């Protein structure tokens, strides 16, 4: 007998029929003798609907009040699921985040979980109950309702698994696992049986949006066994997120090709080469709350440098505005910029011990005549910025070059 936390996302609980499906799945696990804590999201589309409603009253909704109302989406689902569980003959009890006592800080709309009081849940579990908990929400030390940021139910699941020392946290979603790349672009993409936490973080932040990044970080920190599975299939082991140190089998060198079309590139031309220049450029951007991703600068023979970096497309215009006075002040020659770019990344822990990955990637792109505008690397990934129109081609040829279509 094991204690298992299962989390079901919005599409998995998108209608009463689907909620009854979830109840049947939970019942099967329960029948095998497991104790179950089930975390649910709001029904699909509901959180968006609630946010839109708030915006009809206030363009920038008051964060505290927004959390009060947006958290109701999940409250509906827990009640419905507990009913469905009772209907199939199980003992079940539902709780909001505040009822459990999922204590968070007071950062409304993006709160962090500080601690969980798991006593009440334990008593229910020992009593044979399935416990249903609202994802995405908590309560601060003053009793205010908080939410954990979009996609936050994943984090609720992982945090409960950590607090209860669960055997496994299973994230049920509308895909059956983590793939070597987006199957809509490469039909030969394969589901990975395992992927390490670090790779998963790279894949997630690079645009393979299966799990909320914060939940992956949390699971890594508290050593929670995390698995992604489909709620629409009865079979299948999904993808297990592993810790590199307990990998005993031969690990693939490259796990996947990630891509991201959410960035824009900015180049400041003819920047004088002197100490403090990078700070003069990037300081104001940081102050404007804009995150910078890739950065490239290299001093030319004339003592001037072109300084390029990328930001999220949502921050593109704001960044250009911020830079106007900066460019004048540092006496650079001007700015060129564009948002028709894509970042494509080759990800794999095997890079640490295998040479030649970068040259294979660059040769593959060269053979297709794809120009690389920027390059950045870490221990386990190589990213390139290319013209957006070549995104799909680049992903396809890289996927093939690293034999990702072949079962390992
Ligand atoms: N319902 C919330 C959202 O849509 C939380 C979640 O689904 O994880 O972001
Ligand atoms: Mg989600």
Q: 177 CA distance to ligand 1 centroid (A)?
A: 19
Of ligand 1's atoms, which has the minimum distance to the CA of residue 136?
5
**How far, in Å, CA of 44 to CA of 21, rounded?**
15
pLDDT tens string for the chain (408 positions)? Answer: 899 999 999 999 999 999 999 999 999 999 999 999 999 999 999 999 999 999 999 999 999 999 999 999 999 999 999 999 999 999 999 999 999 999 999 999 999 999 999 999 999 999 999 999 999 999 999 999 999 999 999 999 999 999 999 999 999 988 888 899 998 899 999 999 999 988 998 887 665 567 888 898 899 999 999 999 988 887 788 999 988 766 555 567 899 999 999 899 999 999 999 899 999 999 999 999 899 999 999 888 888 999 999 999 999 999 999 999 999 999 999 999 999 999 999 999 989 888 899 999 999 999 999 999 999 999 999 999 999 999 999 999 999 999 999 866
Out of 13, 138, 150, 173, give the residue to mutate to test ligand 1, the one with the largest number of ligand atoms within 8 Å of its CB: 150
Q: 214 CA distance to ligand 1 centroid (A)?
A: 13
Pairing of strands 102-104, 145-147: unpaired
Which residue segments constitute the domains of the chain, with CATH numbers given? 3-249 (3.40.1160.10)
Closest listed ligand to the CA of 47: 1
**How far, in Å, CA of 312 to CA of 230, rounded?**
30
- The answer to whether residues 241 and 197 touch, using CB atoms and an 8 Å cutoff, is yes
Closest listed ligand to the CA of 150: 1
Q: 242 CA distance to ligand 1 centroid (A)?
A: 25
Q: Work out the burial of residue 349: count CB atoms within 10 Å of its CB; fewer than 13 is exposed, 13-18 middle, 19 or more buried.
A: buried
Q: 376 CA distance to ligand 1 centroid (A)?
A: 32
Listing DSSP states for 53-118 in one string gives HHHHH-SS--HHHHHHHHTHHHHHHHHHHHHHHHHTT--EEEE-HHHHTEEE-S-TTS--EEEE--
Out of 41, 74, 113, give the residue to mutate to test ligand 1, the one with the largest number of ligand atoms within 8 Å of its CB: 41
Handedness of CA 20, 25, 31, 37 (dihedral sign): negative
Q: 220 CA distance to ligand 2 centroid (A)?
A: 18
Pocket of ligand 1, beta carbon within 6 A:
9-10, 41-42, 47, 73, 135-136, 150-154
Closest listed ligand to the CA of 75: 1
């Amino acid at each position: 007998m094991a204690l298992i936390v299962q989390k079901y996302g919005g599409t998995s609980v998108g209608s009463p029929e689907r909620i009854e499906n979830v109840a049947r799945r939970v019942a099967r696990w329960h029948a095998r003798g497991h104790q179950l804590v089930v975390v649910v999201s709001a029904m699909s589309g509901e959180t968006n609907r609630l946010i839109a409603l708030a915006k009809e009253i206030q363009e920038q909704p008051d964060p505290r009040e927004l959390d009060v109302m947006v958290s109701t989406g999940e409250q509906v689902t827990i009640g419905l699921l507990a009913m469905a569980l009772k209907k199939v003959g199980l003992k079940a009890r539902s709780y909001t985040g505040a009822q459990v006592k999922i204590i968070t800080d007071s950062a409304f709309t993006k709160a962090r979980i500080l601690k969980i009081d798991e006593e009440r849940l334990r008593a229910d579990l020992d009593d044979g109950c399935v416990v249903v908990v609202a994802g995405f929400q908590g309560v601060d030390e003053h009793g205010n309702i908080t939410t954990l940021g979009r996609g936050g139910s994943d984090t609720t699941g992982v945090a409960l698994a950590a607090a209860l020392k669960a055997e496994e946290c299973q994230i049920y979603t509308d895909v059956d696992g983590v793939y070597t790349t987006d199957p809509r672009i490469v039909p030969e993409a394969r589901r990975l049986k395992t992927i390490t936490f670090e790779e998963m973080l790279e894949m997630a932040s690079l645009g393979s949006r299966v799990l909320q990044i914060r939940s992956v970080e949390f699971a890594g920190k508290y050593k929670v066994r995390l698995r992604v599975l489909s709620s629409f299939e009865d079979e299948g082991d999904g993808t297990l997120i592993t810790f590199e140190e307990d990998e005993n089998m031969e690990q693939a060198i490259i796990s996947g090709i990630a891509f991201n079309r959410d960035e824009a590139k900015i180049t400041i031309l003819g920047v004088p080469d002197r100490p403090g220049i990078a700070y003069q450029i990037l300081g104001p951007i940081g102050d404007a709350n804009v995150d910078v991703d890739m950065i490239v600068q290299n001093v030319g023979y004339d003592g001037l440098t072109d300084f390029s970096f990328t930001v999220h497309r949502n921050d593109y215009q704001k960044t250009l505005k911020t830079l106007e006075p900066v460019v004048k002040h540092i006496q650079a020659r001007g700015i060129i910029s564009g948002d028709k770019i894509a970042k494509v990344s080759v990800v794999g822990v095997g890079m640490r011990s295998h040479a030649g990955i970068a040259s294979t990637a660059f040769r593959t792109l060269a053979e297709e005549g794809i120009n690389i505008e920027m390059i950045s690397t870490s221990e386990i990934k190589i990213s390139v910025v290319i013209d957006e129109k070549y995104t799909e081609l680049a992903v396809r040829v890289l996927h093939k070059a690293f034999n990702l279509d072949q079962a390992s």
